[in-house]
Amino acid sequence: MTDVFAALGDPTRRTVLREVSERGSATATELAAPLGISRQAVAKHLGVLADAHLVDGRREGRETRFRPTPAPLGDAISWMTGIGGAWDERLAALERHVETRRARGR
Amino acid sequence: MVARDITLPVEPDEAWDALTDPELLAQWLGEDREAVLEEAEAPERLVFWWWEDGEAGSRVEVTLQPVVGGTRVQVSDAPVGPFALAAA
């Protein structure tokens, strides 16, 4: 499996992934114009994202349509419920950190 | 997408310093989390992508805004890849 870090390390690739995630699905042709890069370049980025299992490609006529890799429903639900609680904890940690820094006189 | 906010009783500069303190970020990241920075505009906006164990992660946007009595910190966390559709 291609490292997610390598896949997400490129800013253009992050934009491509964001577009696919927001649109629900996209082909290289559909993304080329709005992103202002060639269809070939988009296709290459989509290929790297697919290798990292971040998107799934399916042939549709002469093109390949990419969608975010589907997660099992249970995993998606636990992501959503887990993430909110995690942010409550992280923001509480930020608040404590502000107080600690104040106490240290920074 | 998950959104949260908190108001800290300090000026934006001080809130920003606390937010970007390696000590806090190490705590946020934990042991298995990796991140790449997309944008850092002190003391207003921090955008990064992070994930755990090679799993698809999410894009996090943190904005700081001066308010009466301190700084409002808003966080939005939007999943990318596998959880994007279910959690949109």
pTM, full prediction: 0.75
CB contacts under 8 A, A 61-100 vs B, are 67-71, 73, 75-77, 79-80, 83-84, 87-88, 90-91, 93-95, 97-98
Distance CA A91, CA A26 (A): 35
Domains of chain B: 2-87 (3.30.530.20)
How many residues belong to chain A? 106
ipTM of the complex: 0.90
| β-sheet bridge partners, residue B45 | B41, B63
Burial of A49: CB neighbours in 10 Å, binned 0-12, 13-18, 19+: buried
At A104, the pLDDT band (50, 70, 90 cuts) reads confident
Burial of A85: CB neighbours in 10 Å, binned 0-12, 13-18, 19+: exposed
CB contacts under 8 A, B 26-85 vs A, are 27-28, 34, 36, 38, 49, 51, 54-59, 73, 75, 77-85
pLDDT tens readout for residues B34-82: 888 999 999 999 999 988 876 768 899 999 999 999 999 999 998 877 6
pLDDT at A1: 44
